[in-house]
Amino acid sequence: MVGNKELMEEIQKIKIMLTAINLNLKRLLTQYDESSGQILLSHIHNDYVNAIGNYVASDLKERLEAKLPPSCGKREACKNVIGDFLHKNLRLIRQLRVNDDDVREMRREFDELKRNNAANVECLQCFKEAELLFERQIQLFRSLNIYSDDKSESVDLSKIPENVIVNEIFEPLANVKRFQILKALAIKERTFSDMIQLTGLQGGNLLFHLQKLLDAGLIIQRHERGDYMVTEKGYKILKGILGICRDLPDLNIVMFKA
């Protein structure tokens, strides 16, 4: 929590910055022509993103200090690794445009960061906090209108096939046990015995839920009495659901606090 003294200092800095912007505007408007207009826009953009960048960088530092457990022996190392990654992303604020390739590369780097540094369950919890901060950065890019990930494009919702979507996606996943099974199989192949331990279901009850997922083409069985595994369709549906959770603030918060 920022104290009153720090808050007043921050307000004073913003006042000084706004005064400087105002002086720049007055100076440039007195010489206004087409080239001056470009300079004006450049000055406004630079001052604006600098102010936002400085604030977000400070906020990141405070949140990492607050969220990473003080008793962990890897705290400082993880704080530096995560902090470096998040601060590097902030440089994109200075661009007029962030494209999907930029965001995909950031997600790839984060996944690699997690694989290389999350050694145990406690580490995974810290990286959940880090991922939440990362998604806040993506949301900031959207708010600044420098990244849209094609969300602004018009979509003809009338073309969605209701019966197909309900029968092949919603209905098969409208059960906690079936959703649990699909998530588990997306991580690795599992036997029928594994499924019993995972779900707590026995015999016919488990077979009923597995058959629902098999009929929908979300999972397959290698051969009779063989291991179960997720299909490409099932995996893509899970990735789509994850994307929805990331885009909806309420679900995002619940997901990363779970």
Cβ neighbours of residue 10 under 8 Å, at least 6 residues apart?
Answer: 2, 55
Please name which of 108, 93, 188, 179 lies closest in space to residue 142, comparing C-alpha atoms. 93
Cβ neighbours of residue 122 under 8 Å, at least 6 residues apart?
Answer: 69, 72
142 and 148 in contact (C-beta within 8 Å)?
yes
Phi, psi of 144 (to 5 degrees): -80, 0
Q: Residue 77 has what pLDDT?
A: 80
Which residue ranges form the domains of the chain, and what is each CATH number? 4-143 (no CATH), 157-257 (1.10.10.10)
| Chain mean pLDDT for the chain | 76
Phi, psi of 229 (to 5 degrees): -145, 155
The predicted-structure confidence for 193-219, as pLDDT tens digits, reads as follows 999 999 999 889 999 999 999 999 999
Can you tell me the mean pLDDT for 225-245?
Answer: 87
* DSSP annotation of 55: H
Higher pLDDT, 109 or 151: 109
97 and 132 in contact (C-beta within 8 Å)?
no
Report helix, strand or coil for 230. strand
Q: Residue 128 has what pLDDT?
A: 79
Q: Residue 152 has what pLDDT?
A: 47
Percent helix, strand and coil across the chain, each to the nearest 5: 75, 5, 20
Q: Which amino acid is at 223?
A: H
Q: Residue 226 has what pLDDT?
A: 80
* DSSP annotation of 124: H
> Hey, which residues does 229 pair with through a beta bridge?
220
